[in-house]
């Protein structure tokens, strides 16, 4: 059974399953033995030793299955099924997780992931530059010192590759919209490779000048002029998974933009008359 991707199917999570606030997450695709479920910021897709203490999406779905959540039963899911995320998506990225429901599906899709048969495309914004496209294949290693950080290491790093493509420039605002594509993702890979390529992600605290400040629109003198302070859009690295592609029933899944990105892109459209 495959669901209509345009249909709005939601799974609810009461606190503290995914944090201290209730959440309702979209099911972007449902097949016989897997789901593609929206993943919010602040949640990891599956357990990872270098990211302790964070809410875990597949384990929260597991709890809902064990509790026979009515909305899951209406979707045809059963309490004997177990939710397992195919790949790790860090807490700072808004996107979606591929969740298998059977051991056979877990084996198939994790093998597909390990064979680079699943392609992830991310979207982010950066400052204007002369770069149009780039590929970065610098090897990365996780340094646990100083709270943990992914760094380039030619001696000990693990192989990975990110392909970057500029989507659009907003020259009047000094902003560019970019896509980053990879077929095997490591934690913080997009942010580190973007920095090394010269297109650092807005909000990256490691890079000076990546915090986008925008003055408010001018106000009429009759209303007291422009008295509002500039707005800071992102106080953390802002990267979103926008598309997931893979074999068979997975096909192409377009991820709905986060409310934060929708607000930002609405601002761009107002200021420039263009969308992204």
Kindly state whether residues 261 and 132 are assigned to the same domain: yes
Kindly state whether residues 132 and 247 are assigned to the same domain: yes
**Pick from 68, 89, 115: which residue ends a domain?**
115
Asked if 9 and 230 touch (Cβ cutoff 8 Å), the reply is: no
Sign, CA dihedral 191-194-195-200, equals negative
Q: What is the pTM of this model?
A: 0.87
Kindly state whether residues 171 and 75 are assigned to the same domain: no
DSSP conformation class of 229:
P
Kindly state whether residues 54 and 170 are assigned to the same domain: no
Kindly state whether residues 169 and 187 are assigned to the same domain: yes
Phi, psi for residue 172 in degrees, rounded to 5: -60, -25
How would you write the pLDDT of the chain (276 residues) with one tens digit per residue? 454 444 469 999 999 999 999 999 999 999 999 999 999 999 999 999 989 999 999 999 999 999 999 989 999 998 889 999 999 999 999 999 999 999 999 999 999 999 999 999 999 999 888 899 999 999 999 887 756 788 999 999 999 999 999 999 998 888 899 999 999 999 999 999 999 999 999 876 554 444 554 544 545 445 555 545 556 666 677 899 999 999 999 999 999 999 989 988 888 888 887 655
Kindly state whether residues 7 and 96 are assigned to the same domain: yes
Kindly state whether residues 42 and 169 are assigned to the same domain: no
We report the CATH number of the domain holding residue 208 as 3.30.2350.10
Structure tokens at 16: 């503290």
Kindly state whether residues 26 and 103 are assigned to the same domain: yes
Boundaries of domain holding 87: 1-115
Sign, CA dihedral 127-129-132-134, equals negative
Kindly state whether residues 76 and 152 are assigned to the same domain: no
Phi, psi for residue 107 in degrees, rounded to 5: -65, -45
* C-alpha to C-alpha distance for 124 and 177, rounded to whole angstroms: 6
* C-alpha to C-alpha distance for 250 and 112, rounded to whole angstroms: 11
Count of the separate structural domains present in the chain? 2
Which string of DSSP letters, residue by residue, matches 100-153? E-SHHHHHHHHHHHHTT--EEEEEEEEE--S--EEEE---EEEE-GGG-EEEE-
């Amino acid at each position: 059974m495959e669901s209509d991707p345009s249909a709005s199917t939601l799974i609810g999570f009461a606190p503290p399953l995914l944090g201290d606030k209730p959440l309702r997450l979209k099911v972007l695709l449902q097949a016989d033995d897997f789901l593609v479920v929206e993943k919010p910021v602040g949640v990891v897709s599956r357990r990872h030793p270098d990211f302790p203490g964070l809410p875990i999406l597949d384990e929260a779905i597991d709890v809902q299955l064990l509790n026979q959540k009515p909305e899951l039963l209406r979707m045809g899911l059963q309490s004997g099924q177990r939710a397992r995320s195919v790949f790790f998506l860090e807490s700072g990225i808004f996107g979606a997780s591929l969740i298998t429901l059977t051991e056979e599906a877990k084996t198939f899709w994790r093998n597909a992931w390990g064979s680079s048969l699943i392609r992830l495309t991310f979207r982010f914004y950066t400052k204007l530059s002369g770069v149009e496209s780039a590929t970065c294949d610098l090897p990365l290693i996780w340094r646990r010192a100083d709270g943990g950080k992914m760094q380039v290491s030619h001696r000990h790093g693990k192989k990975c590759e990110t392909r970057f493509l500029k989507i659009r420039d907003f020259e009047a605002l000094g902003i560019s919209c970019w896509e980053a594509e990879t077929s095997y993702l490591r934690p913080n890979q997009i942010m580190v490779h973007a920095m090394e390529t010269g297109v650092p992600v807005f909000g990256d605290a490691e890079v000076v000048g990546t915090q986008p400040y925008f003055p408010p629109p001018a106000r009429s003198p009759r209303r007291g002029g422009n008295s509002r302070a500039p707005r800071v859009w992102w106080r953390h690295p802002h990267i979103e998974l926008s598309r997931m592609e893979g074999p068979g029933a997975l096909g192409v899944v377009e991820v709905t933009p986060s409310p934060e990105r929708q607000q930002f892109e609405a601002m761009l459209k107002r200021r420039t008359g263009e969308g992204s």
